Each structure stands twice: as structure tokens, then as C-alpha cells.
Structure 1
Amino acid sequence: MHAGRRYSLQEFLLWSRRNIYYLFIVSAVPVWLFKFAGFHWIHIPWAPVTLIGTAAALIAGFRNNATYGRSWEARQIWGAIVNSSRCWGIMSGDFIAVNAPERKRIQQGLIYRHIAWLTALRYQLREPRVWENVRVQAKYKEYSKKYSVQEWESSLEGHLEQLLSKDEINKMRNVSNKATYIIKMQSEHIARLNSQGLIDTLKYVEMVGVLKEFYEQQGQCERIKNFPYPRQYASMSTFFIHLFILMTPLGIISEFNNLGVYGIWLTIPFSMITGWVFLVLENVGESTENPFEGGANDIPITAMSRTIEIDLREMLAENDIPEPLRPVNNILM
């Protein structure tokens, strides 16, 4: 998530630098052919270019609206996770019917296991998919050098070893969906506490309800992660915009040629500016459609997990509380 006041022009130019090179070539080649090779027939009327541009703008706007919806839904899901996690922290202490030292030990186990679930979930959400962009396309890899993604640089096992017992880690070593299994272990734990009379049945039912919320929230995240923005719409937007970019210099080259000896060279900058606007619009939608992959415009699930962890550890009255994550180059992960 970009945490600055706005993207600067310098950041936009860095982000779209490869597009600028592409636009220069696409704009310069027709001018060279028209000016030096005598290919005056490559000029086309402006009307069909306008029609293609209108269609490209509409489909790009439709895509950006839909991808923003995916991003906003992801933010709402993680907002719900924050609230449910705080409820879990309170229940883990107040619902235990034993003396203070024993209650603290049980509460710590329940809270640490929940932090482990948050950790496993965010690591799973950062795993790459073939349709994602940041770790695949060079134009996004370049910008990703301005920040770091914790889940790409450290192992899940190293974090879980600090939160779960060796027996729990051994049980889930070969499990494919570790976040799901951690909730299962959480459920087994509170079921034992209920059978031992350490949690009243009504309170036990309430805690099971919160675990159900965690499962639902995880499933909602997995739905967004594992189902991409429909490829047919994404492809249409890309094809239409690139077709418009290719046609733009052909539509305006004759008009600028009429301005005088050097007027034709203005075709290049004006074609580049027009194409740049459309390509940036396309890239904005593309960079928003996968809100968990680790891009600069994604939901900051690592920072939100750290916020939850701080709240829960403070409920345990611990002294060694981690610091909140800060933006790096205005990017918060």
C-alpha cells in the first residue's frame, strides 16, 4: 500500500519506464517510414482511431472499477480479521475459569496459536500465481526493488517455531494448508478445555463461533487469491489499448505533417503522451487486481498482522512487544 500523500511524477515515470521506451518505438517508426521511406499511404483517418480509443477507455474503466472492488473487498476482509482477533484475545483470557497463573499459560497458548494462524495465512497469500504480476513482469519487478516483502525473504517455519510447540509443528509439517490446520488445533484445544470444565459450555460455543469467523475470513481471502480477475476482460483491455496505441501515430501523422517542415516530428511526443495515459490506466488496473501478491498497491497484510500481534501481546502484558511496521519509500507491506 502506498502510504504517501500521492505518487510522485518520478515514481510514475519509473513505474512506466519500459512503457515509455515501447511508446517511443511505436511512435517513431511510422514517422520514419512516412518521412524517409515515402510510405504516405500509412496515414489513416482519425475517425476509426477515435472509435478504438473510446472502446479502449470504456473497457479499461470497467476493468479498473472491477479490480478496485477486489482490492476493497480484501481490505474489508482483513479489517474483519483485525476485529475478530481482538475478540479472540479477550475471550482467551476472560473465558478461562482457573486461577491467574494457569489462566495466563492457557491464554498465551491460544493467542500464540492465533498469531501463528495469521502468519501462515499471510505467507499463503503471498505465494505466487501464474496470473500475478509483481514477480513475473519485469516492469513491476523493477519497482518492487524500492521495498521489501517479508514473506519472500524469510521462511514460514522460522516464525512458527517461535509460536507453536514442537509437537504441533511436527503434526502440520506435511499439511498443505497450514493455516486451516492451525485453526483445527485451536478448536481441539478449546474442546479439551471445555471437557475439563475450564471453559463454560456457553462461552465455549462463543469461541467456536469466532473460529468459524476465522475460517470464513480465510476462505474469502483464498477466493480472491485463487480466482483471478477474468482473463477474457483483462485480455480485451490489453488488446484494445495496444491497438489504439499502434493506430494513434497513423491517425495524426498527416495532420502534423501539414504544420510545416518539422511539424511531422511532433507526432512522436503527442503519440507517446496519448499512449502513456492509456498504458498507465491499464497498469493501474493490472496492479490492483491481485491485492495479496506483494505489489506496491496491495493490502498491507504484513503490517496489519503486526498490528494484531502487538494488540494481543499487550493483552498478555508482555514486555518484548514488536514495533509497528513503517513504510519503506512510502510503501507499506
Structure 2
Amino acid sequence: MHAGRSYTFTEFLLWTRRPLYLLILLDVALVALYQLGGLHWLAVPWNVILMLGTSVALIAGFKNTQTYNRLWEAQQVWASITAASRLWGTMTRDYVNRPEHNRRLVYRHLAWLTALRYQMRESKPWETQKLMPNVEYRKHYDVPEKVRTLDAELIKYVSPEERSRILGATSKATEVLSLQGAALRQLLDDGVIVQATFAELQRVLRELHEQQARSERIKDYPYPRQYAVINAIFVRILCLLLPLGMIDLLAPMNDTVGGAMGGQMVWLAIPLSVLVSWIYSALDQVGESSANPFEGGANDIPISQLCNTVERNLRELLDERDVPLQHAPASPIVL
């Protein structure tokens, strides 16, 4: 996510500039055909464009609302994961009286957080990070899960045997929770914890399972493709017809305006239609980039930072005071 004041206009313009090139060429060509080529039949009544623009605005607004809701739900899910993680650390410290068992339970939980965030960063066919505007913008930040492998991270938290089981599982995060549940059962059988403690810790594990499922649902089920493609098609139709409607609006002024612009007012359709078309296309691009809050984009939920914060909190509960300080990000983009 962007943790600074805001994106600058220059950043936003550079990010959305590619549609501008095509829009300028298209509008220049259509106006030239009307004004220089004499193809006056190209003009489209402005009322038609007005109705189309209103419909596209409603559809674009619907898409952006829904994609923002996905982003907001992802933030809520990971806020719940953070709260449940701190609860897990506190309960294991207070209920499990043996430090070595307490430490294993906490570190295995850190392994679950690690496996889950790596799972959330896996690429999906519908995600937008392979698009050139997003590829270019990634020069401003790094995605931690693309820099280090999951294997290298798990070494810090679990034994080689458990790491091998986790890496060999289809759902690595689920495998960690399974190992955690088996460890709790073993502690109960060995008399380290009582039945009531076992039940309370299992309740927290169930909460973690539920939050993982919610996070997976957002990751694995995209914004419905039928709505995404309708919005993209309608925006392109509007961008194609908008300069023709502008011509219809400006052409009557050719005979009423004197001076240098006398008879040339339709050329104003180029900058005006480019501006309005850019607004619609940029709105569509923003909505599409917000639909997948875990893909490694600049507007993602900062799950890597959240996991780092939780790790510091839990290790401090274990009285580990040598936890490395979290370095300030080199850019406002925090992942």
C-alpha cells in the first residue's frame, strides 16, 4: 500500500499514459477525417454520447465500488489474523508452562504466517502485475516474497522434518495448522496442558482456519470476469465515439466564432475528448489494479509488514529482546 501522503500527478500520469497515446492518435484521425476529408456524416449526436457516458459512468462506479470492497475485506481479514496471532502468543505463554513447548508453538505459528503470505503472493492468470504499467512501477519497491524463497524463510521457524512436510503439501498453510493441532494433542496426551486449555487453543486454531479461508477466497476468486470485460468494452466504445460527439457539439460554432478559430472549432474536440476519455480509462485501470489485494501491487494489503510486526510482538512475548528492528521502507510503498 502507499503509506505516503499520496501519489503525485506525474506518477499517476506516467502510470496511465499508454491509453493516452492511442486516444490522441484516434481523436486526431477522426477530427481530420471530418474537417479535412469532408466526412461530415461521422458526427454522432451529442445526446447519444451523453446517454452512453452516463451508462459507462454507472458501470465504472459499480466496478470500483466492488473492487474497493474486496480491498477493504482483505484488510479486515488480515487485521483479524493479526489479532488472533497476538492472542495465540499470549495464550500459549500463559497456558503452557514449559518454555520449550511455548516457543515451538509460537514459532510454528510464525511458519503459518509465512506460508500464508507466500501463498497469497502466488500469481494468478487474472492478476494485473504482468501488465506493463505495473511492471514499470515495481522499480519503486520490492516484493519480499519474490526476493526470498519460502524454504529459506521456514528454516527460521520449524524443524527440517516439519519443513519438508510443509513444502511437500498442496496447501502449505493448512499443513502448518495441521501440525499445530497435532502438537496440541500431543501436549494434552503428555499432561503438559489440561483439557480446558486444549479446547481454548483449538478455538483459536479454528479462528485461524476461518481467516485463512477468507483470505484464500479473495485470492482465488477474482472480480467476476463478465463484469470486468463489460466495463472494459463499454469504456472503449465511449472513447471511440466521444470525439464524434464532440464534433457534433462544436461544429455549429464554426460559423459563429471569428478570428484564428473561425471555422476551426472542431479541432477542440481533440483535447476535450482525450481528457474525458483518459478519465474513464484511468478509472477503469484503477479499479482493475485494486481488485486483487495480494498480488504484489503498489496498492496491496501490506501482509509482509503485518507478519513482521506480529513476529516482533510474539518473540517479545517469549522474552527474546534481540529481535532485529524493522527497517524503514526505501519508498512509500509498503508490502
Decide: shared fold, TM above 0.5.
Answer: yes
> In structure 2, what residue type is equivalent to 1:63?
K
For 2:222 and 2:103, the matched residues in 1 are separated by: 38
> In structure 2, what residue type is equivalent to 1:65?
T
Distance 1:329 1:36, change over 3 A: farther
Q: Which moved more, 1:168-177 or 1:151-160?
A: 168-177
The corresponding residue for 1:314 is: 316
> C-alpha offsets along residues 194-234 of structure 1, whole Å, 9 cap, x if unaligned?
11111111011100110111110000001111111111111
Q: Which moved more, 1:31-40 or 1:285-294?
A: 31-40
The corresponding residue for 1:177 is: 171
The corresponding residue for 2:108 is: 113
Question: Counterparts in 2 of 1:54-203, with a 5 A limit?
Answer: 54-97=54-97, 103-134=98-129, 136-203=130-197
For 2:328 and 2:233, the matched residues in 1 are separated by: 39
The corresponding residue for 2:30 is: 30
Of residues 246, 255, 260 in structure 2, which corresponds to 1:252? 246
Question: How many aligned positions are there?
Answer: 327
Q: Which moved more, 1:180-189 or 1:21-30?
A: 21-30
**Are the equivalent residues in 2 in contact too, given 1:95–1:200 (CA < 8 A)?**
no
The corresponding residue for 1:208 is: 202
**Are the equivalent residues in 1 in contact too, given 2:114–2:307 (CA < 8 A)?**
yes
For 2:84 and 2:320, the matched residues in 1 are separated by: 21
Corresponding residue SS for 2:167: coil
Corresponding residue SS for 2:333: coil
Shift of 1:276: 1.2
Of residues 284, 288, 291 in structure 2, which corresponds to 1:289? 291
Of residues 275, 279, 287 in structure 2, which corresponds to 1:277? 279
> In structure 2, what residue type is equivalent to 1:241?
V
Instruction: Provide the aligned C-alpha RMSD in A.
Output: 1.4
**Are the equivalent residues in 2 in contact too, given 1:126–1:294 (CA < 8 A)?**
yes
> C-alpha offsets along residues 224-249 of structure 1, whole Å, 9 cap, x if unaligned?
11111111111111111111111110
TM, length-normalised to structure 1 = 0.94
For 1:255 and 1:235, the matched residues in 2 are separated by: 30
Shift of 1:256: 3.4
Q: Which moved more, 1:278-287 or 1:206-215?
A: 278-287
Percent identity of equivalent pairs: 43
Shift of 1:325: 5.4
For 1:119 and 1:4, the matched residues in 2 are separated by: 26
Corresponding residue SS for 1:145: helix
> In structure 1, what residue type is equivalent to 2:163?
I
Shift of 1:170: 2.1
**Are the equivalent residues in 2 in contact too, given 1:67–1:289 (CA < 8 A)?**
yes
**Are the equivalent residues in 1 in contact too, given 2:128–2:134 (CA < 8 A)?**
yes
Unmatched runs of 5 consecutive residues or more in structure 2: none
For 1:249 and 1:73, the matched residues in 2 are separated by: 39
> C-alpha offsets along residues 289-332 of structure 1, whole Å, 9 cap, x if unaligned?
11111111111111111111110111112133133354443211
Distance 1:3 1:173, change over 3 A: closer
Unmatched runs of 5 consecutive residues or more in structure 1: 98-102
